[in-house]
Every structure is written in structure tokens, then in C-alpha cells.
Structure 1
Amino acid sequence: MSRDELSLQYHGLFLPKETHSQDSLKFAEDFKFEDSDVIAVTFPKSGTVWMQEILPLILNEGDLTPVQTIPNWDRVPWLEETRLALVMDQLKSPRALVTHFLYDLMPASFHQSKAKIIYVMRNPKDVIVSFYYFHQMAAFLEDPGTFDEFLDKFLDGKLAFGKWTDHVKSWRKPELGDRILYITYEEMKEDLPTALRKISRFLGKNLREEVIQKIAENCSFTVMKNNPMSNFSLVPKVYMDSDKSPFLRKGVAGDWKNHFTSEQLSHLNSVITKELDGFTLPWSLN
């Protein structure tokens, strides 16, 4: 099926019908944020599921019960997806959410609250690779075509949630002040305990070192890949076919080097550099 058949449009963005509806988007618009809420913001394939693992463990000071008994999409639901309305009453304060929304799509109550934001940014080259394989296994997304064709769609903003450059720029808002923490997928991969300490301090948690190490161990790729509450194996194959590509595929930084030609890299760097227009990234695109 085509993108238009599989998607609905929302403020110019294409969102999968399987996980979004007009009702869910209206529910998001009317959502009442509380000052104690925490929301992890990502462009798709940038560490969202990782944050759905990390946040409950930090907020519950290392208690593994949530990540071992509740599917990730219910323990830390997406603001914009249909599941939120169904699990809303089960969320305990401080509530943890995730979203792929751009800043300007956040509900009015978000701007009026003191809710904290963790923005996770990932190298766009690895985002593209991960998104490409996700399109292969997710029946609710269009066939990705060739990698070259998919790259063009990504750069043209024709995939879910639009352009990567628009997303990362939208969340660099001085008015958010100390409400927002910026962190990269790459620094989490390089040294997860240090990243966890950074996140826990931001959330006002003074966790003991043994708790940090326990969380780091349970948020490792291997543990998450073997946790049915986190690896999406509970989703029927008619929606997500892990035989085509596992949802948790590699969980590494730098896999783009196995996929891009020099011409594709040059094209991506040129387009993104132009669109960032002076916006500074935490790494080099080269």
C-alpha cells in the first residue's frame, strides 16, 4: 500500500494510521500536563524505546517491576498515539511519556507547565538506516524501496514526522531553559552509566552508584532484546514481521558506514548542512 493509504495527515505531517487517529491526536491536543511529568522527545529511530526503558527505572529508583511486567508502549506511552487514552488512568506520578512531535505541535498545557523534557538526538545517517529496516518489517508503513530511494524520501521529509532537520531545530528553544536536557544516542552508547547519572540528576534523583549500574545493565541492548516487554515480540507478525528485520536490530552507532556510498553521503551532508543553516550539531557530519 502507498504512504497516502497507510497514513493520515496532521499539520502537514504523515502519521501511520495503525498507531494514530484523529481521536488520538485530539486527545494529545487536550492532554493536561502536570508539573511532575517527564517527556522524552525524539525523531523516529533515535532512541525512543531506549528511553521507555530508562525513564521508569530512574523514576522508580531501579525497581525492575515496570520493565518486566508492562509493555513499553503502555509503561511510557506516546503522547500522540491511540494507546495513551487507554492507559492514561494507570500512569502513576511522576508520569513518563514519549513523543515524536515537533515543538510547535505540543499541547497548550505543556507550555503552561513545568514538565521536564529529555531531547534525544541521533546521527541522521544512523537514523536513516534504522528507519529503512523498520519500513521493511512494519506492515503499517510503505515499502521503503531501494536505499537510494529511501534516502531521498527522508531528505524530502516524505516519511513519518517530516524532516529530521525541522525536528531537531524545533526543540532548540531558549525559553525552555532548564526544563530541557539535550543528550545524544551516541553518548549513551559510549558511556551509559555517565548518561544515566546525567539524566537522573536532571530528574532530581540522587541515585546510588549500585542503582545506576543496575539500570545500565538492564538497559543494555542484549537485555532489552531478550525482554518481551521491550522487544516488540508481543506485536503480531501481521503488523511487525521480525523475520524481515528484528525491531531491535543492532543498537549501535556507526552502522551507516555499511550502507552509504560516497555519493549518498555527499548528497546527505549537502542537504542537511544547508537546511541546518548554522545550527550546530554535537558531532561532525563528515
Structure 2
Amino acid sequence: MPDNTYLDEDLVNNNNKSNKSEKKKFPYEIKRVDPDINKELLDVFSGEKTTFVQVGPHKYIFPSGYEKNAENYYNFEVRPDDTWIITYPRSGTTWTQEMVWLLTNNHDYETAMQIPLVERFPFLEFSMCVHPEIKAQILKENNSSKKSQDIVEEICSPAWKILKDQNGKRFIKTHFPFSLLPPNLLTAGCKVIYVARNPKDVVVSYYHLNRLFKTQGYQGDFKQHVDFFMRNLLTWSPYWCHLQEAWELRHSKNLLFMFYEQMSKDLRQSIKKVSTFLEKDLSEKQLDKLENHLQFENFRNNESVNSGFLADLGITNNVQGFVRKGKTSSWKDDATADLIKKMDKWIEDNLKNTDMRFENF
């Protein structure tokens, strides 16, 4: 189970009293993964060229780019009017981002359609996934267009630097667990939404994402991907520690913990719940329009959230869009009976350690 460093009252109080510009030492050890495991990962994840690292007692795993920025993520200055979305990858992040942005920005659909979601709602740690060799390769592929190269440079720049200099209300997406985020995140006054999704659907969607992005460049098969997932070797894993950290904080005033399955089952009620948490009034007319906007067939055809321009730049492969099926129980289409049995046992073993439960999977 996760430790409670994040809830340490002395740590929070000391943080509030300290000078905002004073950096705190990163509290966890960062170690390279075992050489044999690293070779196993590098053989199928072509986006990483150096090594994977493991962080802290739960051994959260990240590409090599994490190490040099760990303190910057941990010391990122939180503002009271920030809005954060935190998830393990492929847990309804994009869907929730679009909902939250529109609720908080007076349902400005015109701007939402004109400005890509990745720009409206920056991904805090994406730059750590961009190995210098992959970045150089992508820049070379765009050498005929200075404009395209400038966009690549902007996308690959550390978001924590960009957000630090951003004026006005900020919207921040991250896949980091709470223990690796600023210790005052839930006491600074900002709003934080965490979305959890059942592991079977997560691992299917994550498999397709890791194949989609050249920064990951996954070249193995689905069975091997599931094996990495259950061995806690996919980036941002361990999955169960990630969720459990959030689950233990779910009663915090400024945190809303949601399940993707509940959102899918009753989108309308979920919109109401989020709007109440964000303290935003919502008329029936606004609710109708937002519900329709977020219906999955409409959502997956929305270029602003589907990031098609990333394929034009060569950051993603042309195998599919960023937004896929969005349905629950999609794992039934991809997993064999033996693989499902193996996962069921793994899930059963891990659920013994928590009172967190998923619906319909």
C-alpha cells in the first residue's frame, strides 16, 4: 500500500510556510531498472534509447527523461485556481479534460474546436517521454517546414516550464501518482479530479496508445503488453499503487474521485457531478448540449481532441486516432480466454488489499 507522505501534516505546513522559490529535495530514490529487464523493455519500446528508471518504494517506472526533471515536477508551484486531471493512462483522461474545460470556460465550443485540447490542457510530463534521438528523428522528418519544426519543438518542450510562465487560469493533465506530485496539491485550493478505469480496458487501450506514439514505439504483441502491465513494467505503473494512492485521498475536499465505468453508464449525471465539484452553474440547455458534445461518436470525430496533427508531424503513426472505442469491456475483443483467466487472478489478488471496486468488468 502507498505510504502517507502526501498527507504528512508537518510536510504540508512546512511547505506552506516556506519560500515559494525554495526547492525541496526530491524525497525518493531513482534507480535504473535491472539490466536484463531494461533490455527486455528496450527490445520492444523503440521510443526509449537509454534506460528505464524506477522511483521510490513502489518502483514507479519511467523513461530516462524523468530523472533530470523529477525535482521540477515535485516542486512545481501549484496555484489556487488551477484545475488538474490525474489518471493512470487510458482511463478517460481526454474525455474528462474536454468536459472540465468547457464547464470552466463558459461552454465556449468555438474556442474548444479551434484550439487543440493538448494546447488548452497541457500534459505536465510529456517531454520526459521524448528521447533526444526520437526528437531529432522527428525534426529531421519535418526539415522541409520551419513551421512544423517549431511546432515539434513546442510540443516537446517541458510543460512545467510553459505552465510556470502562463498567465490566467491553468488546466493541467498528468499521469503521475500523487506521491510524485507537489505535496501541497490538495491543500493549495485548486480543483483535482482523478478518474479510475478497470484494468482490463486500461491495458487494451494502453496497448494501442503505445503502438500509436513514436515516443513509446511499442513493437511487441498484446500478450506481451499484458505481461508487462501485470509485472508493473509499463510507464506510470504500478497500476494498483497509482489508484490506491488516489483512493486513500478520495475524501479530500479538493479531490473528486470518479470511475470511468460510472461516467459511461450515466454521462449526464457525471456532468452534473463534475459541475457541482467545480462550482459551476449548469442550465438544462447547457447540459443537453454538453452531453451531446461528449457522446462518444461525436467525441471521436472531434479533431480538436483527436490530435490528428500529431500524425502529420510524425509524432504518431497513422494506425488509428488518439481517441479509440471508448466503450467498457472492450478487452473482450482483444484477450484470449487464457489471458483473461490470468488477468482475473491478478485482479482478484490485488483487490484483496483494497475496498475499491469497479462496475461491470
TM-score, structure 1 as length reference: 0.88
Find the aligned partners of 2:177 and 2:124 in 1 and give their Cα distance: 12
Q: Which sits farther off after the overlay, 183-192 or 193-202?
A: 183-192
Displacement, 1:285?
7.2
Find the aligned partners of 1:88 and 1:217 in 2 and give their Cα distance: 34
Q: How does 1:38-117 map to 2 (within 5 A)?
A: 38-81=83-126, 82-90=158-166, 92-93=168-169, 95-117=170-192
Q: How does 1:173-252 map to 2 (within 5 A)?
A: 173-174=248-249, 177-237=252-312, 238-242=314-318, 244-252=319-327
Find the aligned partners of 2:89 and 2:50 in 1 and give their Cα distance: 17
Find the aligned partners of 1:51 and 1:88 in 2 and give their Cα distance: 23
Say if 1:137 and 1:245, in contact at 8 Å, map to a contact too: yes
Q: Which sits farther off after the overlay, 244-253 or 99-108?
A: 244-253
Find the aligned partners of 2:159 and 2:286 in 1 and give their Cα distance: 30
Identify the residue that residue 132 of structure 1 maps to in structure 2.
207
Displacement, 1:178?
2.3
Identify the residue that residue 53 of structure 2 maps to in structure 1.
9
**Does the C-alpha gap of structure 1 residues 245 and 236 become closer, same or farther in structure 2, counting only changes over 3 Å?**
closer
Find the aligned partners of 1:213 and 1:25 in 2 and give their Cα distance: 42
Q: How does 1:153-192 map to 2 (within 5 A)?
A: 153-174=228-249, 177-192=252-267
| 3-state SS of paired residue (2:309) | coil
| 3-state SS of paired residue (2:184) | helix
| 3-state SS of paired residue (1:68) | helix
The one-character-per-residue Cα deviations of 1:38-66 (angstroms, maximum 9, x if unpaired) are 21111001111112211110111312144
Displacement, 1:75?
0.9
**Does the C-alpha gap of structure 1 residues 88 and 54 become closer, same or farther in structure 2, counting only changes over 3 Å?**
farther
The one-character-per-residue Cα deviations of 1:72-95 (angstroms, maximum 9, x if unpaired) are 1221112333234235444532x3
Tell me whether 1:35 sits opposite 2:111 in the alignment: no
Find the aligned partners of 1:207 and 1:88 in 2 and give their Cα distance: 31
Say if 2:196 and 2:259, in contact at 8 Å, map to a contact too: yes
Q: Which runs of 4+ in 1 moved over 6 A?
A: none
Displacement, 1:204?
0.9
Q: Among the aligned pairs, what percent are the same residue?
A: 26
Say if 2:249 and 2:255, in contact at 8 Å, map to a contact too: no
Say if 2:186 and 2:252, in contact at 8 Å, map to a contact too: no
Tell me whether 1:120 sits opposite 2:195 in the alignment: yes
**Does the C-alpha gap of structure 1 residues 217 and 89 become closer, same or farther in structure 2, counting only changes over 3 Å?**
farther
RMSD: 2.4
Corresponding letter in the other structure for 2:113: Q
Find the aligned partners of 1:137 and 1:80 in 2 and give their Cα distance: 18
**Does the C-alpha gap of structure 1 residues 266 and 53 become closer, same or farther in structure 2, counting only changes over 3 Å?**
same
Find the aligned partners of 2:356 and 2:113 in 1 and give their Cα distance: 35
| 3-state SS of paired residue (1:5) | coil
Larger radius of gyration: 2
| 3-state SS of paired residue (1:55) | helix
Say if 2:104 and 2:280, in contact at 8 Å, map to a contact too: yes
- In structure 1, stretches of 5+ residues that fail to align are none
**Does the C-alpha gap of structure 1 residues 31 and 122 become closer, same or farther in structure 2, counting only changes over 3 Å?**
same
| 3-state SS of paired residue (2:49) | helix
